[in-house]
Structure 1
Amino acid sequence: MEVRVKKGFSEKQKSKIDVKRNSTRLLITVNVPGSAGPLRFVVNEDDKVAGVIDMALKQYAHQGRLPLLGSDPTHFLLLPTSLGLEALGASELIGLCGVRNFILCKKQPAELRESRWKAEGMIDQKSKSSSCWKTWLNKSFAFKIHFH
């Protein structure tokens, strides 16, 4: 069955329309710790995890749920419930993990700092500064006690 597309669309726009029609849609469940119940919504299997987190946060806010979470998707992790405690990467495709039940949780402050440093290209500087700090700490606790 061939679908006709209106005139005036470029080839690129036509291919996007065909991809959207052919992509599989998934009903996923996202649990938020401390919230009354899970969020359920439909996503495309080729949606990225970052986009799914953004959709979950928007739906959570639209429903007026508590506790308040915020709206920045970079502050959250999406954990599949059946695959252990390994968070999905923001650029991974949601359909490739093979799971439909997730937990949305906030990143810890250290994780936020590290993800910001990675985004800004400062991860090398962080490791250098932490090694200097560790060296200083080790030297300061290395007391030499002389008994005469």
Structure 2
Amino acid sequence: MLLSKQKKSQNNKGNRLLITVNVLGSTGPLRFVVKEGELVAAVIDMALKSYAREGRLPVLGSNLNDFLLYCPTSGSDALSSLEAIGTHGVRNFLLCKKPQSEIAKNAETEGTTIARRGHGRWKSWINKTLSLKIASH
């Protein structure tokens, strides 16, 4: 009996929370259990993995640096990625993609550029197809 009490106390070193993360533009929230001291960056990563695993739309991607997590009590400021998820005492959060200007700014500071893959080919194919049909009349 004493041994089982010791095991239970070792497993309860951190409080666990059932949190709800609403993803902007998606249907229905994500719900999962995290430790109270878990970092916001880790929670964003878990949310993105859970979102992808469930096959939800729209496809978000997996780069956690492109997303912000908001708390209803913190006003319009996003949570810092280095703070603990349990510091605000709430369990509902909103996950949003950063504005494209911020993503581009972050990419430039890292020395990379954002390239639109496939976008130009798609447009050029449509333009060629339409110009052929118009010219044949």
Instruction: Flag structure 1 segments of 5+ consecutive residues without an equivalent.
Output: 4-17, 123-148
1:76 pairs with 2:67: yes
Separation in 2 of the partners of 1:109 and 1:84?
A: 22
Deviation at 1:113, TM superposition (A): 3.9
Tell me whether 76-85 or 105-114 shows the greater mean CA deviation.
105-114
Per the TM alignment, residue 104 of structure 1 is displaced from its structure 2 partner at its CA by: 0.3
Deviation at 1:36, TM superposition (A): 1.0
Residue in structure 2 matched with residue 111 of structure 1 by the alignment: 102
**What TM-score, normalized to structure 1?**
0.64
* 2-structure distance, mates of 1:116, 1:91: 20
4+ runs deviating over 6 angstroms? none
The 5 Å alignment of 1:68-147 reads 68-116=59-107
Residue 49 in structure 1 maps to residue 40 in structure 2: yes
Aligned with residue 65 of structure 1, among 42, 52, 56: 56
Which of these two proteins has the greater Rg computed from alpha carbons?
1
CA distance in 2, matches of 1:48, 1:90: 7
2:96 aligned counterpart, secondary structure? strand
Give the superposition deviation at 1:115. Answer: 4.1
Change in Cα spacing, 1:114 to 1:89, as seen in structure 2 (3 Å) is: farther
Displacement of 1:116 after TM fit?
A: 4.9
CA distance in 1, matches of 2:90, 2:77: 13
Aligned partners of 1:111 and 1:94: how far apart in 2?
23
How well do the aligned residues superpose, as a CA RMSD in angstroms?
A: 2.2
* Structure 1 Cα separation of the partners of residues 77 and 48 of structure 2: 20
Shift of 1:82: 3.1
Counterpart residue number, 1:36? 27
Check whether the contact 2:73–2:88 (CA below 8 A) recurs between aligned residues.
no
Would you say 1:25 and 2:29 are equivalent positions?
no
Q: How many residues align?
A: 106
Alpha-carbon displacement from aligned partner over 1:114-147 (angstroms, at most 9, x marks no partner) = 44567x5x9xxxxxxxxxxxxxxxxxxxxxxxxx
Instruction: Check the 8 A contact 2:40/2:82 in 1, yes or no.
Output: yes
Report the Cα offset of residue 60 of structure 1.
0.4
Give the alignment's TM-score, normalised by structure 2: 0.69
Identity %: 53
Counterpart Cα distance in 1 of 2:54 and 2:39 = 23
